[in-house]
Chains A and B, each alone.
Chain A
Amino acid sequence: MEFQRATPEERRLYYREEWDVKQIPRFIRDSLYQREFGFDHHGRGPNDRYRTFRNEDHLRKFMRYRTPFAAYTSVAFYQKPNRREGWIKSELVFDVDAKDLPIRSCACDSVCELCLDQAKNIVSDLKDTLTSDLGLKEIYMIYSGRGYHLRVQDEEVLGTDSEVRSQIVKYLVGAEVPRSEYGQEGITYNLEHFAIPFGYHQVFTQRIKQSILHLTMETALDDVNKKLLKDVIKNRHLLLKDQWGPFRQAIGPIRYKRLTKGLAFTNLGLVDAKVSIDLKRILRLPSSLHSMVSMKCTEVKNLNTFDPFQDAVPQFVYERKD
């Protein structure tokens, strides 16, 4: 499927005939009056900001008559959203953009089925960690048009500041090589990340496994030369059976250390960290149209069965003549 920009007429068709305000997830509709809305009317960025809506009907009318190029809503809840004042709390969000994945097996310029699928797997892994390690439960997944958003609504994290959020991001993506040397009674023990099947060590192991399996000879990793990259690709089949010990041995312990360091640095690009740590960010409004690619920003109920090319394509795309 080709990603094509929506015409003003197509936008009108979408918002008047296909879109319904009830398609906006309840977690947003319930807090409509506390959120700031932003709009992009001409495809030049969301410069119509500080908008607020008292109720669903006002929003419905606005969308139907203005048929914006793009619509956004704040992750923050304010006392005075029209002035972005009186911050109350912010959703904890993670933005996985298929276009910006640091390691991609596809060689496409923008977004394709392969990298969208890879983004979907990353989202699934991140969600698992949010649940299994951080114990978070109220997590919504949104297909954004070119990737996915994870939006956490658990009350216990909504009040956290940027610093805590940056720690969560780093934990979730495996941005640092875990400690491997432990001492007890004067003896030092070496425990590599793959020897510890829980906590951050396990998260790191899972993330770098996925990265290694997607490496190509064109991937640029900090401090990893072509020879090392070639050896990693040659031996990565061992990781399919989680044979980390033999894999590390085949690479060599010093080079393995360089590899893990390079991968940890790259992992930071799995999500757009700026989005997660910015407490006043605006995010694409679920149910709205991503006019640049003519796709619907859609809430994903079941990630396993979700197919953006089935579930996020607006009707007008099927009716296009060319």
Chain B
Amino acid sequence: MVGVPFINPLSLEGREMVRQLGSLEDLTHDNPELIGIVTRSKSQDISDDQDIPRNHLELALKRLEWYVKKRNNPNFNYRKYAFLFQGDIEKFDTISFYLLSQAIGVKFGPNSRESRLMAESQGSLIQNRLEELNTRNREEIVLKALQELLSQGTLKWTFFEDLLSSRRIQLSDLVLDQGEVIMDQDDFRERLGPRLHHRDPDKMYQLLIGEELRELILIQMVMQQTENYMAEVHEKSRLMVEPNPLLLQLADGVTEILTQPTPSYTGTGKVARQSYRGPLNREAFPPCVKTALEGIKSGGRNDAIVLFITPFVSYARLCPDIFKQNVTVRVSDKDPQLQVVHQEVLPLIYEAAERCVPPLFEDQPQEKININAKIGFGMHSTLKLENEGETKWYTPMSCEKIKLHLPYLCRPDDDCKKIGNPLIYYNRKNWILSREQAESGDKKEDEGSSGEEVMENQDNDWIDV
């Protein structure tokens, strides 16, 4: 049976382990006990000494490396990380978790891609660790970990406000009655059983709530607490004179892992193509973007131009594969002199603003500042590199958000069906168009036409990685 910190390092027991810790410097020294656990792990497949984490710091990085590799490559060697799933690594793992969270909190802060990845990796680790357990142990540890998290008697849905706000769970995932979340089997039987006809309440409980919902809530709560913890560390670090160099060293290790080129793979395990990158291709814009670019009537102009078009156009032009990236990206990483921003991105946004009725900047010139803010350059009337980072570069709204905020823009076409974000639509459509173009080029070539169009097609950035 594993302990609660193995599943939730932020539990009371986990916190106690950290409290009993000696000097931080000791964590950089080789630890024979840890090395022993790693090398004796069940089903391990480590043939290179380099793959053995020798101390807490290295173990912390291995945790993250495991997640990044697993996420990006379905063919990666799982057995190289078998030690992460050994219950006896709990003590080392818990301390590594805190080190990693603190390093990310200090260096990258909350709402960064790094912190999100950290929380995601923790969720994925819990999921995989639970899957390694037998049914009885799995049920027991989930109940024990949840008991501490849900200490109150009745559980109101508002208790999950954080999880709902971060969309880690959907309100519709929960079984609600009179404002309370039904999690307990007896409760379910008593309160909802009488409403069921010709169905066994216990069976229904198992299907609708049971282990699955309990595990979902446990995992999501730990992920949320991990994010909150990093935000807390970040706040505290701002008051400190100098963060511990060990944490900064670890943060550099995090950057190294996350910036390693990570090809993405298709569902069949083949290397996927890179996203189209180049001048904006209006033909590939989704219907919502096309409509917004035509201009919006008073009432919906600000949201459409500032919140929707600005992030979409900037990412589509500069970083269309943002959702595959592991690290926080700034505009200047992609356009160091801001030439593309000035010559292509802003003109297109301003053009759309001009087409609004009445033209957006005519009565609301301050929205130009808001546009600058949404691409990360703070609340200033001109775009200056020195202001970059004062605000966040907003990622494009998801289809779900568009349906709520800007319902009049959502007129889906056939290509919209399987995507959840207009930027994914743009990437996919570009791929379809370039494939069609290549096919028609091949055809024309077969028919004896000039090869000019084929050459033109080869100009874009569609390369196999």
Contact = CB atoms under 8 A, between A and B. Distances in A.
Nearest to B135: A185
Contacts of A171: 171-172
Contacts of B407: 268-269, 273-274
B404 interface: yes
B211 to A, nearest CB: 9
Contact of A132 (B166, B178, B197): B178
A166 B404 contact: yes
Contacts of A274: 404-405, 407
A163 B174 CA distance: 17
Interface residues of A, number: 39
Contacts of A183: 212
Nearest to A133: B176
A34 B177 CA distance: 34
Interface in A141-200: 156-157, 160-161, 163-164, 166-171, 175-176, 178, 182-184, 189, 191, 195-200
Contacts of A164: 161, 164-165
Interface string A255-283: 00000000001001100011001000000
B385 interface: no
Contacts of A222: 412
A133 B158 contact: no
B208 A182 contact: yes
A200 B157 CA distance: 13
Nearest to A272: B407
B192 interface: yes
A268 B404 contact: yes
A168 B192 CA distance: 22
B156 interface: yes
B29 interface: no
A106 interface: no
Contacts of B175: 198-199
Interface string A192-223: 00011111100000000000000000000010
Interface residues of B, number: 36
A222 B414 CA distance: 11
Contacts of B172: 170-171, 176, 178, 200
B164 A163 contact: yes
Given A168-B171, A274-B404, A161 B179 contact: no
A277 B208 contact: no
Contact of B176 (A134, A265, A277): A134
B167 A156 contact: no
Nearest to B414: A223
A196 B203 CA distance: 13
Contacts of A250: none
A135 B171 CA distance: 14
Nearest to A189: B207
B270 interface: no
Interface string B386-405: 00000000000000010111
A268 B177 CA distance: 23
Contact of A135 (B179, B192, B197, B404): B179
Interface in A267-305: 268-269, 273-274, 277
Interface string B78-91: 00000000000000
Nearest to A172: B171
Nearest to A273: B404
B195 A170 contact: no
Contacts of A184: 206-207, 210
Contacts of B164: 163-164, 167
Nearest to A182: B207
A317 interface: no
Interface in B179-199: 179-180, 192, 195-197, 199
B404 A169 contact: yes
A86 to B, nearest CB: 18
Contacts of A182: 207-208
A198 B177 contact: yes
Contact of B177 (A156, A160, A199, A277): A199
A184 B211 CA distance: 9
A228 interface: no
B412 A163 contact: no
A13 interface: no
B170 interface: yes
Interface string B129-172: 00000000000000000000000000011100100111100111
Contacts of A132: 177-178
A28 interface: no
A160 B161 contact: yes
A241 to B, nearest CB: 14
Q: Kindly name the residue among B161, B165, B404 whose own CB sees the greatest number of chain A CB atoms within 10 A.
A: B404
Contacts of A136: 179
Contacts of A277: 404-405
Contacts of A200: 171-172, 174, 176
Nearest to B169: A167
Contacts of B210: 184
Interface string B206-225: 11101010000000000000
B157 A134 contact: yes
A6 B271 CA distance: 67
A161 B165 contact: yes
Contacts of A133: 176-179
A195 B196 CA distance: 9
Contacts of B212: 183
Contacts of B176: 133-135, 199-200
A85 to B, nearest CB: 15
Contacts of B158: 156-157, 160
A56 B175 CA distance: 44
A176 B208 CA distance: 17
Contacts of A191: 207-208
B296 to A, nearest CB: 13
30 contacts: A45-B298, A132-B177, A133-B178, A134-B176, A135-B156, A135-B176, A135-B178, A160-B158, A160-B161, A160-B165, A163-B166, A163-B167, A167-B164, A167-B167, A167-B170, A167-B171, A170-B170, A171-B172, A176-B170, A183-B212, A184-B206, A196-B208, A197-B197, A198-B195, A199-B177, A200-B171, A200-B176, A265-B403, A273-B403, A274-B405
Question: Which are the 9 A-B pairs with shortest beta-carbon distances?
Answer: A135-B179, A200-B172, A182-B207, A167-B171, A273-B404, A133-B176, A171-B171, A163-B165, A199-B175
Interface of A: 45, 132-136, 156-157, 160-161, 163-164, 166-171, 175-176, 178, 182-184, 189, 191, 195-200, 222, 265, 268-269, 273-274, 277
Given A183-B212, A200-B172, A268-B407, 4 more contacts: A133-B178, A160-B165, A268-B403, A273-B404
